[in-house]
Amino acid sequence: MTNKNDFETFLYISNKKISISVRKKYKDYEFYENTINLTNNLNDKDLSQLNEFLYLNIIKIERSLKKFIKKIILIIDHQELLMIKLSLKKKFYGNLIDKETLGSLLNTARNQVKENHKGKTITHMIIDNYNIDDKFFSSFPENMKCQNLCMDINFICFSEKFLMKIKESLNLYQIEIQQILSASYLRDNFKDSTEDIYSMGQKIIDGHNSNEILFVRKIRKNVGFFERFFNFFN
In the chain (234 residues long), the average pLDDT of successive 10-residue segments reads: 70 94 84 91 78 95 92 90 92 89 89 94 94 90 91 95 94 95 95 91 91 65 43 38
Give the 3-state DSSP-derived string for 27-53, with helices as H, strands as E and coil as C. CCCEEEEEEEECCCCCECCECHHHHHH
Distance separating alpha carbons of residues 53 and 148, to the nearest angstrom = 52
- Residue 163 has a pLDDT of 94
Contact 105, 226 (CB under 8 A): no
Domain spanning 7-79+160-205: CATH 3.10.20.440: no
Distance separating alpha carbons of residues 25 and 6, to the nearest angstrom = 6
3-state secondary structure of 111: helix
Measured CA to CA in angstroms, residue 1 lies from 6, 25, 27 at distances of 11, 16, 18
Listed in order, the ranges of the chain carrying CATH 3.30.420.40 are: 7-79+160-205
- Residue 3 has a pLDDT of 52
Listed in order, the ranges of the chain carrying CATH 3.30.1490.110 are: 82-159+221-233
Distance separating alpha carbons of residues 109 and 129, to the nearest angstrom = 15
In this structure, CATH architecture of domain 82-159+221-233: 2-Layer Sandwich (3.30)
Distance separating alpha carbons of residues 157 and 114, to the nearest angstrom = 10
HSE of 91, CA atoms in CB hemisphere, 13 A = 1
Distance separating alpha carbons of residues 193 and 97, to the nearest angstrom = 35
- Residue 223 has a pLDDT of 39
- Residue 149 has a pLDDT of 94
